[in-house]
Structure 1
Amino acid sequence: MRFVYTLIFYCAVPFILLRLLWRAIAAPAYAKRWSERFAFFAPLAAEKKVVWLHTVSVGEFIAALPLIRQLQMRDDLQLVVTTTTPTGSERVHASLGESVFHVYAPYDLPDVLARFIQRVKPSVLLIMETELWPNTIAACKKNNIPALLINGRMSEKSARGYEKFSGLTRPMLQSLTKALVQNKVDAARFNRIGLPAINTEVTGSIKFDLTISDDLRARAAELKREWSQDEKYVLWIAASTHQGEDEIILDAFSQLKQKSVSNLRLILVPRHPERFNSVANLCVNRGHVLARRSEKTFAHNTEIILGDTMGELLLMFGASDIAFVGGSLVPNGGHNFIEPAAWALPLLSGPHVFNFAEVAKLLTEAGALQLVPSSSELATAVKFLAEDERERQKRGNSALQVANENRGALAKSIGIIEQFL
C-alpha cells in the first residue's frame, strides 16, 4: 500500500510544482528555495546529537518555541527546525537566527527523505500537532530514528478523513514511536484510527505554558495607550481571520456604528499575509478610515487598524480589550484561544472550533468564551462587552484562570522527549 502511495505521489510531482507556482502568485516567497523541499542543501556539520523538529507554519512554530528554548539549554544538542510555509520560515529566522539549522521540510518521497536524513543525520524527530506523513515515519523507522508527535491533536473531522485511508494511516501510526496528545478525547481518536494505546501519552497542550515577558507587557501597554488614545477607545481585536470572515466582522462593526457604539476601534488581523492588501481594500471600499500597523502611524479618526505584520499577534492581543478568534465563522476549525486568555481578555468566536474543541469547552464552561454564529450576534456580544468594563474584567479573569490551571504540558513533554535523547 505504501508503494501505491509513493507511486501516486511521484506522478503528482508536476502538479506539486504547479501548485507552488500558483501559490507564488499570491505569496512570492513560495517561488524561492525550491531545492530545499527536495533536500538539496549543504549538509549539516554537527558533532552533537541532532534533534529534527518540524513545525508546519507560524502557529505551530510559536507553540513550539518554548520547547525549542528548553532544548537549546542542553549543550549536547543541535536543533534542526523545518517548516512548510515561508511565513513559518520567516518566524524561525526572526526568533532563532543562526542558533538552529533551518530549511524547508522535505517532501514525503523516499529518495527525498533519504537525502534529507543523510544530510542532517537526526537522532530523533519531533512533529508538532498533526503533520504526519507515511513515508517520513517509515524512513525514520527504517533508520532507527524515534519519531514523536508533540502536542498532538485530532479532531473528529480529521479522524474520519484518516479512516478513509486506513491502509496508509494505520501502518503509519503503528510505526510512530510515541504520541504526546493534548487530551483524552483526542487520544481516543488517535487510538481508534490505529495508534497503539501503549504509545500514547496525554500531556495537555504546551500552548498553555505561554510566558509573557515584562518587556512584552511594557510594549503592549504602550501600544494600547497609543491605539486607544489614552483609553478613549475600547480596542476589539479580530485575530487570525480567514477569507469569508472579514466581511462578517465588518458587517458587525458597521452594525455597532449604527447602534452608536462610537468608542470602539477594530484591530483586524488576517491569518495569511497574502490577504493583507485585499482585506485593506475591503475596509476602505466599505468607507472605513484605515491605518496599517506596518506603517506605524494612524490618524485620530482611524476606525480600523489592519494588523499587517508578522510575529506581532501576541503583542496586539496585549494591546486589546476584547478578542475574537477567527477561523471559526467559516468551517476552518478555529485557532488558538490560549494567547488572548493569557492576556486575561474576554473571548468571542464563531461556532466552528473543532480544532480546539476541548480548550473551547473549558473556556466556555468557565464563562470566558462566547460563541456567536452571525454578524448580528457578534455585534450584540461586542456591544455588551464594550459598554461593560466590569464584565470584560470578569470574563478575562476567568480566561486567565483556565490558562493558568492547565499549565504543565511543556515539562511533561520535555521529560518524555529526554528519554529518547
Structure 2
Amino acid sequence: MTLWYRVLICIAVPFVFIYLWLRGRKAPAYRQHWRQRLALQSFPMQARDGILIHCVSVGETIAARGFIERILQQYPQLPVTLTSMTPTARSLAQQLFGERVFHAYLPLDTAGAMRRFFNKLVPRLVIILETELWPNLLRTADHQQIPVLVVNARLSERSAKSYQKYAWLIGPIWQHISWIAAQTEPSQQRFINLGMPADKVAVRGNLKFDFQISEALQQQAQQWRTQLQRPVVVAASTHEGEDEQILDAFAQLLTQQPDCLLILVPRHPERFQTVTQLAQRQFKVVTRSSQQQVTAQHQVLVGDTMGELLLWYQVADVAFVGGSLIERGGHNPLEPVATSTAVVSGPHVFNFAEIFSRLEAVGAVKLVTHAEALAQAWQQLIAQPQLREQMVAAASAEFARDQGATAVMLTDVEAHLPPSTSLVRTLTMMQRLSPKPGLEYWYDAQALPDFNSEFFSADYWAQQNKVKGSATGRATAWFIEHGEQGMLLRHYYRGGLVGKLNKDRFKREPIETSRAMAEFSLLLKLRELGLPVPQPLAAKFERAPGWGYRADILVAIIPGAKDVFQRLQQASLTAPEWYRLGAAIKQLHQQQVYHSDLNCHNLMLDNAGKAWIVDFDKCEFRQPGEWQQANLERLLRSFNKEIKKAEAAGSVFHWQQARDWPLLLAGYQQDQEDPAVTETSA
C-alpha cells in the first residue's frame, strides 16, 4: 500500500457518504448504520476472537451459503461475523443465518477505520469471498498476524489488467494474503502473474457448483406450480436499460402464450417501485411484497423481496439471466442450472465468460441480442418441453464433475485454523454482565455458575473464611477456596515510579482491550492452543471517578503448584524439572506468545512435576524476533537477582547459574528427551 493510496482513500471518504446519502433517496437503507462504515460501533464480547467472512454483495452471500453453513457446523465454539458492503447483502445474511452469526458493514478502507475494526473484533481468521481486496484491510490483518484466505476467487482478464494498471497505487498487496483458492486455472495464473506466490494459490473450483436446493424450497416451488397451472418465465437480476426490452419481449410472447406469467426480479431494491410502475403501464401486475395471491388475471409478478431468487428459478420453466442485454457483464447462470431451469441470456456475459462458454459448447444456453429474439427463445422453450429437458440435462452433466469445492475449501480453512476439541472454552462461550455504564464483568458460567459481583472483593471472601492464603509481589493476590474451584483474585496495580503516585488507575481504553479483559481473552486462547497456563474464570472493568479505570481478574489455582521462587527457597530443582521449565517456555515461544514479565515468580511446578507459566498481564502474540532471546535473558536476570538478595539477607536460594541454567536451556532447545534426563539434584 502506497502513501498515495492512503491519502486518496481519506479524500474519498466524504464523497462516499455523499453517494450513500444520494442513493438513500431511493433505498433508505443506505442512510443507516453509517457509524459502521468507519468502525465506530461496538461489538459484543462474544463476537471477538472468531472468524470474519466478507461477502461484498448478494451474489457472494448466496454462493457462500453452503460454505458458511459448514463453517458454523465445524467451528461451533467460534463466533462468525459476516460483513458486506450493501444493505441488500446485509439483509440477506440476516435472513439466511439469523442470530447464528454477527452482521456488520466492512468499514471504508482507511487505515484508522480498519485498525479500529480489527482491534474491536480481533478475528483469528479472515475469509474473503471472490476478489474483494482492500489494501488497508490486508495490511492490518498481516500486522496483527491474522491469516487472510481468499476463497472462490475469480480474476477476469479485465480485472487483472486493472490490478496491473494501478499497482503503483495499491502497492504489493499480494504478500499480505495467506492463501487463494481460485475457481479456475486461468484465474490462478493471473494471480501468480500479479505477484501471488505460486505455492499459495491453487484451483479449488466454484462454490456455486455445490448449490443444494433444499427439500423445503422444492416443496414450496411445487405448491406454486400446482397453484398457477400455467407457463412461467423469470427475468432475474435485471438492470436499468433492459427492463423495457424484457417487457417488450413478454408482450410478444403473450400473443403466442396468452396465459404465461412473467416473474420480473430487479437486481437492486431501490428499483423495485420503478420497475413495478413500468410493468403496470402494459400489464396486470402483482408484487410479491403485497402478499396478494397471483390469480389468472395477473400477467406479471414483480419479485420485490430479498432472498427468494432461487424460489423463482425453481418455479419457472425458463429463466432469463439479467445484466446481459446491456453491457453490465451478466450474472452467474449456475443458480438456474442448480434448479434445473433452462437458461436464456443476453450477449454481454464477460463477468462469467468461462461458465457461459461451457454452457454454449454443450447447447445448454440460448444467447439473444434483442427483445424479439428473447421472445422467440421463450416461445420455443415453452412450446418444446423436450428441448428444455435436453438443455437442463446438458448443463447438469457439464458441471457435475465440478462439484466438491466446498469440501476442499474447508480443508484450506483447517490448514489455517484447526478444529478445536469439545473441551475448549472460547470467548463466545463466556457471559457478560454490565450492571451500569462503566462497570462490566466477563465470566465463565460453566466454571462459576453462581457468579456475582462480590467475587472480586477480598473482604467478601474473608467474611466467609474462604481466604486461604496470599501471594505478594507488586501487591497482594488472594487465594480463595470456592467449592472444588480454587481461585486466585488479583487486582491490577501500577508499577515503578508511576505506581507511587497512581496506585491502580489505568488510562481509559475500550473495555475489550483493558488490562483484565485482555488477559482473560489471551488466557482462553492460550489454553485452546494447549499451553500450560491457568484457566481464566472472570474479569472486571470499572471506570474510576474522574479519570481512568481499575481492573481485577480471577483465575483458577493450579492444584499443588508452587512458583519456582518458593521451590528454590526450599531446595534445588531436579534436572527433569529444569528441563520441563525450559520446554514450557519453548511451547510459548513456538506459538509466538510474548511474556512481558518472565521471571522465577511466574514459573510454577505442580506435584506431578509439570511446568506452568502464569501472569499474562500485558502479554501478546508477536512475530518471531529478538524478543524471544530477550525473554530468556530477563528470566536469567531474575534468578541472579534473587540469589543476590538472598545472599544479602543471609538466607538460602538454591540457584547456581553454571549448574541450573544449561538444564533449562536444554529443555528450551529440546536437544534431549525429558525421560533421558537423570533424576539428580545438584
State the TM-score bracket (shorter-chain normalisation). over 0.9
- Secondary structure of the residue aligned to 1:179 is strand
Amino acid at match of 1:28: P
Q: Which residue of 2 aligns with 1:159?
A: 160
Judge conservation of contact 1:342–1:399 (CA < 8 Å) in 2: no
1:304-333 CA-to-partner distances (Å, cap 9, x unmatched) read: 111111110111111110011111111111
Tell me, in whole angstroms, the C-alpha distance in 1 between the residues paired with 2:258 and 2:206.
39
- Kindly state the Cα deviation for residue 409 of structure 1 after the two structures are TM-superposed: 0.5
The DSSP-based 3-state class of the residue aligned with 2:192 is helix
> In 2, distance between residues paired with 1:175 and 1:403?
33
Matched, 1:275 2:276: no
Q: Does 1:346 align with 2:347?
A: no
Q: Distance in 2 between matches of 1:206 and 1:144?
A: 27
User: Is this contact kept in 2: 1:49–1:76, CA < 8 A?
Assistant: no
Residue 376 of structure 1, CA deviation: 1.7
Task: Name the amino acid aligned to 2:244.
Answer: E
- Matches of 2:326 and 2:193 in 1, distance apart? 28
Q: 1:31 is matched with which residue?
A: 31
The corresponding residue for 1:107 is 108
Higher helix residue share: 1
Letter in 1 for 2:363: G
Pairwise CA distance, 1:373: 1.5
AA matched with 1:241: T
Q: Residues 69-108 of structure 1 correspond to what in structure 2 (within 5 A)?
A: 69-73=69-73, 74-108=75-109
1:277 to partner: Cα distance: 0.7
Question: In the alignment, which residue of structure 1 is the partner of 2:245?
Answer: 248
Alignment of 1:288-327 (within 5 A): 288-296=283-291, 297-327=293-323
Partner secondary structure for residue 45 of structure 2: coil
Paired residues of 1:346 and 1:396 also in contact (CA < 8 A): yes
**1:338, 1:403 within 8 Å by CA — same for their partners in 2?**
no
Q: Within 1, Cα distance between the matches of 2:303 and 2:178?
A: 40
Aligned partners of 2:49 and 2:121 also within 8 Å: no
Matched, 1:386 2:382: yes
The counterpart of 2:394, out of the listed 395, 398, 401, is 398
Q: Secondary structure at the match of 1:26?
A: coil
Q: Aligned partners of 2:46 and 2:279: how far apart in 1?
A: 50
Task: State the distance in 2 between where 1:386 and 1:315 align.
Answer: 19
**Secondary structure, aligned partner of 1:119:** helix
Structure label with greater radius of gyration: 2
User: Paired residues, what number?
Assistant: 415
Q: Shift in Å at residue 411 of structure 1?
A: 0.6
CA-CA distance at 1:339 after TM superposition:
1.3
In structure 2, which of residues 254, 258, 264 is the aligned counterpart of residue 257 of structure 1?
254
Following TM superposition, by how much is the alpha carbon of 1:191 offset from its aligned partner in structure 2, in angstroms?
Answer: 2.2
Residue 56 of structure 1 pairs with residue 52 of structure 2 = no
Deviation at 1:17, TM superposition (A): 1.4
SS at match of 1:279: helix
- Alignment partners' CA distance in 1, 2:191 and 2:49: 30
Kept in 2, the 8 Å contact 1:134–1:168? The answer is: no
CA distance in 1, matches of 2:36, 2:182: 30
* 2-structure distance, mates of 1:184, 1:357: 14
SS in 2 for 1:40: coil
Change (3 A) 1:170 1:11: closer
1:363 aligns with 2:346: no
1:12 aligned counterpart, secondary structure: helix
Moved more, 29-38 or 260-269: 260-269
Secondary structure at 1:77 match in 2:
coil
Higher mean displacement: 195-204 or 270-279: 195-204
Aligned-pair distance for 1:34? 0.5
Structure 2 residue aligned with 1:133: 134
Taking a change above 3 Å as real, the CA distance of residues 204 and 252 of structure 1, as seen in their structure-2 partners, is: same
Shift of 1:170: 5.5
Report the CA distance between 1:127 and its aligned residue.
0.5
Kept in 2, the 8 Å contact 1:52–1:82? The answer is yes
User: Take 1:114 and 1:242, find their aligned partners in 2: how far apart are those partners?
Assistant: 36
User: In the alignment, which residue of structure 2 is the partner of 1:120?
Assistant: 121
Is 1:407–2:403 an aligned residue pair?
yes
In percent, how many aligned pairs have the same letter? 38
Report the counterpart of residue 212 of structure 1 in structure 2.
Answer: 213
Q: Provide structure 1 residue ranges, at least 5 long, that are not aligned to the other structure.
A: none
- Alignment partners' CA distance in 2, 1:24 and 1:194: 39
Q: CA deviation at 1:48?
A: 7.5
C-alpha separation in 2, matches of 1:39 and 1:111: 9
C-alpha distance in 1 between matches for 2:181 and 2:169: 21
140-149 or 190-199, larger mean C-alpha shift: 190-199
Which letter does structure 1 place at the counterpart of 2:212? T
User: One-letter code of the match for 1:378?
Assistant: L
Q: SS at the partner of 2:64?
A: helix
Decide whether the 8 Å contact of 2:2 with 2:171 is kept in 1: no
Q: Which has the higher contact order (CA 8 A, sep 6+)?
A: 1
What amino acid is aligned across from residue 312 of structure 2 in structure 1? Answer: M
The one-letter amino acid of 2:251's match is S
- 1:217 Cα deviation after fit: 0.6
AA at the equivalent of 2:7: L
> 1:345, 1:397 within 8 Å by CA — same for their partners in 2?
no
Residues 170 and 194 in structure 1, CA contact (< 8 A), matched pair in contact too:
no
In the TM superposition, residue 400 of structure 1 has moved relative to its aligned partner by 2.4
Q: Is the 8 A contact 1:154 1:355 kept in 2?
A: no
Shift of 1:47: 8.6
Shift of residue 262, structure 1, vs aligned partner: 2.1
Assess if the C-alpha contact under 8 Å between 1:91 and 1:311 holds in 2.
yes
Alpha-carbon shift at residue 169 of structure 1 (Å): 4.5
CA-to-aligned-CA distance 1:159-212 (integer Å, 9 cap, x gap):
222221022456112321111111011222222233222221110001111111
Q: Kindly indicate whether the alpha-carbon contact (under 8 Å) linking 2:47 and 2:121 is maintained by their aligned counterparts in 1.
A: no
Query: Distance between the aligned counterparts of 2:385 and 2:193, measured in 1?
Result: 46
Distance 1:11 1:89 in 2: 26
Q: Cα offset for 1:282?
A: 0.8
Alpha-carbon distance in 2 for matches of 1:316, 1:254: 20
In the alignment, structure 1 residue 11 sits paired with structure 2 residue 7: no
Secondary structure in 2 aligned to 1:212?
coil
